[in-house]
Amino acid sequence: MAQTINTEVTRTDARRKVTGTATYAADETPSGMLHGALVCSAIAVGQVTAIDTSAAESEPGVVAVFTHETLPDYKTVKGFYAGGPGSSSFWPMEGTDIRYAGQPVAYVVAETAAAARRGADLVNVTYQEADGSIHMDPEDSFVVGAGEDSEGMVLTKGDLQAGLDEAAQTVDMTFTTPFQHHNPMEMFSATAEWRGDRLTVWMPSQSVRTLRHGIAGAYGLPETSVRVISPFVGGAFGSKAGITPYAMLTIAAAKGVGAPVRLIVTRPQMYTVATFRPESRQQFRLGADAQGRLTAFEHVEIAQTPQFGEIVNPGTHITRAMYACPNIHTEQRLARSDTNSGGFMRAPNEMQTFFGLESAMDELAWKLGMDPVELRRVNDTMTHPTEDVPFSSRSLMESYDAVSNSFGWDQRGREIGSMTDGDWLVGYGCATATYPTNILASNARVRAQGTGNAYVELAAHDVGTGTYTIMAQIAAARLGLPVEAVDVVMGEADLPVAPISGGSTTAASAGSAVHDACVKIAQQLATQISGMSEGPLSGVDPSRITLDDGTLRGPDGQSQSVMEALQMIPEGEIEVVGTFRHPALTDQLIKATFSGGYGTAGPVTPEFAMFAFGAEMVEVRIHKYTHEIRVPRIHSAFAAGTWLNRKTAHSQLMGGMIWGISSALHEVTETDKPRSRFLNANIAEYLVPVNADIREVRVEMLEEQDDYVNPLGVKGIGEIGIVGTAAAIGNAIYHATGKRLTALPMTISDVLST
């Protein structure tokens, strides 16, 4: 039996993806389907005063034009951050209020996509415009919640001022990060088909059960009447989690016309009808003694939130877990502006906060005259700095040592600007990455057959992460089967409960439920075969029979393969539902997940703090005359418990680092301040790396054992890759030029003007 865990396994869905037979939501065409198109608001704040639909309605092919006055009614649902299933707590086309630019104001249904687009262009909307601002005013911010609250939005430990006073060196720095949009390659879409009071929705989703819960609630239907199907998702990164207005509008329009309707949201509309990464300001004050030990740590994060909701991605909860320090103060603040709801975009608490923290740490190292790696080593800790519990495992310095070796950190020049290559200034930079190990309840159904195959079913998702493959690997390893003998079915709300694919949780939580199902199959099998008159385990106490990856073993060396044992029982197969209920999951959290929500425990439990760690090192080259910034190589090392699949895990970490390069040097949603709207709302002017932007990317995956996080010892890895990259690049730019850049993205003009 070849090894199936902690090895390189080609994706089980690879063939479907390279032949064009993987079916994404918009590839489904129910019989008689019509096409939808959105008309979106041309103003940001104000009122709709009139909508003239006559030209659109007389356009050939147009079937219907819905406005707030004519769209079939449904009950709106609460937004995600208010504990509901919605992507926003404000629902467009409920009335005449305009709260953000690009808000849907009308919905056209037509026989073809081209006719729907034409119809949408012919809808004439008249507005009364009011003043707005797309940017927050950080000077007008407020603390989330009620100050010193149980969620730790404001936290004070020790005496910050005393720590600053006693420090040998201090830094006081403010960083800014911009609005960013996820821009998955797959455009948002929804296809809705009503048959009486039964509804089927095809929609790319990170949480099919959240969608079903929200839709059923909106129409007062039992959840069994609603099917939500999303077998393949063309990238999500946080943008396809909650139920969005465009989905609700499509479902209502399909009800209104009495035929299935498919909406493909246009790329420009994707910037306003769903969520984004809010802009932020990160304020850090650090102090350290002459040996580099931190004496003071302050982080105040101010993040943008809409007028009608509070979008809280608490980055201070993560930064304060990073380094030992006796005097700590953190504050999580928000400031309002006129946008749709932001949300979570890959490493929503970490990307922007670690750009600040790790840049400030680098500045501190220069002031102290220390190697920045040594500054991290001096402040490394095996105990959470504010929660007084040990880390379940923490391999930060092992990561630094591994990446230093791979990168050649010892070749780094000691002085600023000391490394050149022809007309290029060369700089090396490093930064820490971490990501919390979040825990969610999950179930999974496994059916093992003595004929040598197995079926795994759960309402999880493969958003490109490799979930189909790792679920098959886990079952294959436990049952003693080749990976290709395991069929995995996911992406449907009707399947056994599995959590939202967010917060890097699926492999750990849903994977542990698959593992548990296989253990239960073995237990049931042990009971049956020990009671039989023949066989190697006949008469053995079943409680003393253990599962050893495909083999049942008795206490005295007796053994039988799971597949042989299955052939002995009359059914020839066993089907069970496995569960994952980590001890840290309270009844309330389990209830939240089982009712379609996000009942996450961790990363801090009463016993341990659970995080994955890593370190990144980059080389930048800045042209002496043009100031062009290049990243010829980026190396990293990560430790995140057990690696399930070294091929797909490598891709996730590498992809995360490329996202980090993107955040550092490319991505920004530009704004039109006078008109309070996003400006570069397309995938050419919203810059993301192209192939030519990416050179050498090297990832080392360290071995780490963690028996506390879950039975598999897995920590999530979907997001950690992005976390340290922007700071590492900024620190390398500083090393090359002596210019400290404090705003993302870092551009040629920033190098010129700083």
Partner 1 sequence: MPKTPPDLRRPGVSRRGFLQGSSVVAGSLGIAAGAAQAQDSMPSAEARTITMNVNGKVRSLSVEPRTTLVEALRDTLGMTGTKIGCNQGQCGACTVLLNGMRVNSCLTLAVMAEGAEVVTVEGLADPNGDLHPMQAAFAENDAFQCGYCTPGQIMSAIACIDEGHAGDEAEIREYMSGNLCRCGAYPNIVAAIVQVRDSQQG
Q: At 575, list the tokens.
A: 């089907």
Residue 13 binds partner 1, judged by CB under 8 A: yes
CB of 114 to partner 1, least distance (A): 5
Q: Select from 640, 612, 643 the least CA-distant residue to 473.
A: 643
CB of 180 to partner 1, least distance (A): 12
3-class state of residue 245 by DSSP: helix
Q: Select from 321, 368, 403 the least CA-distant residue to 169.
A: 368
Judged by beta carbon, residue 197 or residue 696, the one nearer partner 1 is: 696
262 to 281, contacts with partner 1 by CB under 8 A? 264, 266-267
Cβ burial of 212 (10 Å; 0-12, 13-18, 19+) is: buried
Q: At 304, list the tokens.
A: 């943008």
Contact window for partner 1 (CB under 8 A) among 37-45, 389-397, 520-528, 610-618: 37-45
Bridge-based pairing state of the strands 442-449 and 453-457: antiparallel
Residue 10 binds partner 1, judged by CB under 8 A: yes
Interacting residue with partner 1 among 45, 77, 123, 218 (CB under 8 A): 123
Instruction: Tell me, rounded to whole angstroms, the distance of Cα 411 from its chain centroid.
Output: 35
What is d(CA 738, CA 415) in angstroms, rounded to the nearest whole number?
9
Residue 683 binds partner 1, judged by CB under 8 A: yes
Which residues fall within 8 angstroms of residue 176, CB to CB, at 6 or more apart? 279, 280, 281, 282, 742, 743, 744
Residue 689 binds partner 1, judged by CB under 8 A: yes
How many of the other CB atoms lie within 10 Å of CB of 684?
A: 8
CB of 335 to partner 1, least distance (A): 21
Judged by beta carbon, residue 96 or residue 747, the one nearer partner 1 is: 747
Reply yes or no on whether 59 is catalytic. Answer: no
Residue 120 binds partner 1, judged by CB under 8 A: yes
Interacting residue with partner 1 among 670, 702, 711, 739 (CB under 8 A): 670
Residue 489's H or E segment, with its range, is strand 486-489
Phi, psi of 344 (to 5 degrees): -105, 125
Residue 394 binds partner 1, judged by CB under 8 A: no
Residue-level length of the chain? 754
3-class state of residue 173 by DSSP: strand
Query: How many binding residues for partner 1 (CB under 8 A)?
Result: 99
Interacting residue with partner 1 among 142, 539, 626, 707 (CB under 8 A): 626
Contact mark string toward partner 1, 697..716, x via CB under 8 A: x-------------------
Query: Positive or negative, the Cα torsion across 711, 715, 718, 719?
Result: positive
Interacting residue with partner 1 among 244, 319, 560, 652 (CB under 8 A): 652
Q: Select from 272, 260, 292 the least CA-distant residue to 679.
A: 272
| The residue to which tokens 């040996």 are assigned | 291
Interacting residue with partner 1 among 143, 173, 397, 694 (CB under 8 A): 694
Residue 2 binds partner 1, judged by CB under 8 A: no
Q: Select from 286, 437, 277 the least CA-distant residue to 357.
A: 286
What is d(CA 102, CA 397) in angstroms, rounded to the nearest whole number?
47
Residue 640's H or E segment, with its range, is none
Judged by beta carbon, residue 118 or residue 227, the one nearer partner 1 is: 118
**DSSP 8-state secondary structure symbol assigned to residue 95:** S
Interacting residue with partner 1 among 519, 568, 569, 687 (CB under 8 A): 687
3-class state of residue 334 by DSSP: strand
Contact mark string toward partner 1, 568..607, x via CB under 8 A: ----------------------------------------
Residue 42 binds partner 1, judged by CB under 8 A: yes
**DSSP 8-state secondary structure symbol assigned to residue 497:** P
Residue 14 binds partner 1, judged by CB under 8 A: yes
How many of the other CB atoms lie within 10 Å of CB of 43?
A: 22
Interacting residue with partner 1 among 257, 569, 577, 679 (CB under 8 A): 679
Contact mark string toward partner 1, 356..385, x via CB under 8 A: ------------------------------
Q: At 131, list the tokens.
A: 């003043």
The four Cα atoms 2, 555, 452, 5 give a dihedral, to 10 degrees, of -30
Judged by beta carbon, residue 45 or residue 610, the one nearer partner 1 is: 45
What is d(CA 699, CA 660) in angstroms, rounded to the nearest whole number?
14
Residue 118 binds partner 1, judged by CB under 8 A: yes
Name residue 299's beta-bridge partners: 284, 330
Contact window for partner 1 (CB under 8 A) among 38-46, 301-309, 397-405, 448-456: 38-46
Residue type, 22: A
49 to 68, contacts with partner 1 by CB under 8 A? 59-61
Q: Select from 726, 592, 508, 548 the least CA-distant residue to 209.
A: 592
Judged by beta carbon, residue 157 or residue 647, the one nearer partner 1 is: 647
Q: Select from 412, 416, 380 the least CA-distant residue to 398.
A: 380
Residue 422 binds partner 1, judged by CB under 8 A: no
CB of 658 to partner 1, least distance (A): 3
How many of the other CB atoms lie within 10 Å of CB of 275?
A: 26
Interacting residue with partner 1 among 393, 648, 710, 737 (CB under 8 A): 648
Interacting residue with partner 1 among 225, 693, 739, 740 (CB under 8 A): 693
Residue 135 binds partner 1, judged by CB under 8 A: no
Interacting residue with partner 1 among 125, 136, 378, 639 (CB under 8 A): 125
Residue 260 binds partner 1, judged by CB under 8 A: no
Residue 622 binds partner 1, judged by CB under 8 A: no
Residue 115 binds partner 1, judged by CB under 8 A: yes
Judged by beta carbon, residue 89 or residue 269, the one nearer partner 1 is: 269
What is d(CA 266, CA 132) in angstroms, rounded to the nearest whole number?
25
CB of 379 to partner 1, least distance (A): 31
What is d(CA 260, CA 31) in angstroms, rounded to the nearest whole number?
8
Contact window for partner 1 (CB under 8 A) among 155-163, 280-288, 461-469, 576-584: 461-469
CB of 696 to partner 1, least distance (A): 8
What is d(CA 228, CA 422) in angstroms, rounded to the nearest whole number?
58
CB of 465 to partner 1, least distance (A): 7
Q: At 389, list the tokens.
A: 């519990």
Residue 672 binds partner 1, judged by CB under 8 A: yes
Q: Are 754 and 746 in contact (CB under 8 A)?
A: no
Contact window for partner 1 (CB under 8 A) among 279-287, 296-304, 575-583, 680-688: 680-688
Contact window for partner 1 (CB under 8 A) among 90-98, 133-141, 384-392, 676-684: 676-684
CB of 42 to partner 1, least distance (A): 4
Residue 668 binds partner 1, judged by CB under 8 A: yes
Judged by beta carbon, residue 25 or residue 604, the one nearer partner 1 is: 25
What is d(CA 691, CA 704) in angstroms, rounded to the nearest whole number?
32
Interacting residue with partner 1 among 463, 566, 640, 744 (CB under 8 A): 463
Residue 675 binds partner 1, judged by CB under 8 A: yes
Judged by beta carbon, residue 556 or residue 625, the one nearer partner 1 is: 625
Interacting residue with partner 1 among 126, 418, 527, 586 (CB under 8 A): 126
Query: Positive or negative, the Cα torsion across 726, 728, 731, 735?
Result: negative
What is d(CA 545, CA 518) in angstroms, rounded to the nearest whole number?
14
Name residue 333's beta-bridge partners: 143, 302
Residue 22 binds partner 1, judged by CB under 8 A: yes
170 to 209, contacts with partner 1 by CB under 8 A? 183-187
Cβ burial of 696 (10 Å; 0-12, 13-18, 19+) is: exposed
CB of 393 to partner 1, least distance (A): 27
213 to 252, contacts with partner 1 by CB under 8 A? 232-237
Q: Would you name the residues annotated as active-site residues?
A: 719
